[in-house]
Amino acid sequence: MVIMKCLIPTRCKTPLYRWIPLLRVMKGLPCDLGVAAVVSSDDKILLVKEGTGPFKGKWGLPKGFVDKGELPRDAALRELKEECGLDGEVVGLNSLREKITNGLPAIFIVYDIKVHPGQTAKPCSEIDQVKFVDKNKLDELDWISQTMKSIATFSKPEIKSSIIDYTASQGHPYLLHLNNGGVSVE
């Protein structure tokens, strides 16, 4: 709701609160912001087996946290490169997980990524194994979480989305992701 106030109160019979917009600035909150990459090929999906940390030996998507000053989509591409040695491009928004952790928002954004041709996936030092797994065999794996398994199970590469890049007009990174069947909207 925008509240207006009159600039010249003595000449105006409209209440003061109706004329000058009061600017409202959104307050930022600390947020746990993570990302993952979905790379699908036919009926297979790219997965990594963790080699270190609390999830050692468990399977999931290439994933990680967003660094300060980094767009989440760029973080997903960076994590795919770091964990699997693969370069690609974001082709859509796959899914979003939201929850509250320690009283603060915890957001996990998953992107569909098309890998550039001619590359071979190679695990980094923190990853034991990288491979394309048949979607019919996902139940056989020991997963990082049920959420990660659900994302992998229900990812459908045939569902298209559009990305509109408003960066040039906004003067800073500004992207809009639409799940609209991939219809061009520019």
CB 59 within 8 A of CB 47: yes
CATH number for the domain that contains residue 124: 3.90.79.10
In a domain, 11, yes or no: no
What is the distance between the alpha carbons of residues 164 and 135, in angstroms, rounded to a whole number? 30
In a domain, 173, yes or no: no
Q: Could you list the residue range(s) of the whole structural domain that residue 115 is in?
A: 32-155
What is the distance between the alpha carbons of residues 92 and 120, in angstroms, rounded to a whole number? 22
Q: How many domains does the chain have?
A: 1
In a domain, 4, yes or no: no
pLDDT in tens, 139-158: 999 999 999 999 999 887 66
In a domain, 25, yes or no: no
Residue 185 predicted with pLDDT over 80: no
pTM of the model: 0.78
pLDDT in tens, 89-142: 999 899 999 899 899 899 999 999 999 999 999 999 999 999 999 999 999 999
Q: Where are the alpha helices (DSSP H) in the chain?
A: 72-84, 146-154, 167-170
Q: What is the mean pLDDT of residues 44-48?
A: 97
- Confidence bin at 5 (pLDDT 50/70/90): very low
In a domain, 180, yes or no: no
- Beta-sheet pairing, 40-41 with 32-38: unpaired
Q: Where are the alpha helices (DSSP H) in 107-186?
A: 146-154, 167-170
Look-up of token digits 């082709």: 91
In a domain, 161, yes or no: no
- Confidence bin at 168 (pLDDT 50/70/90): confident
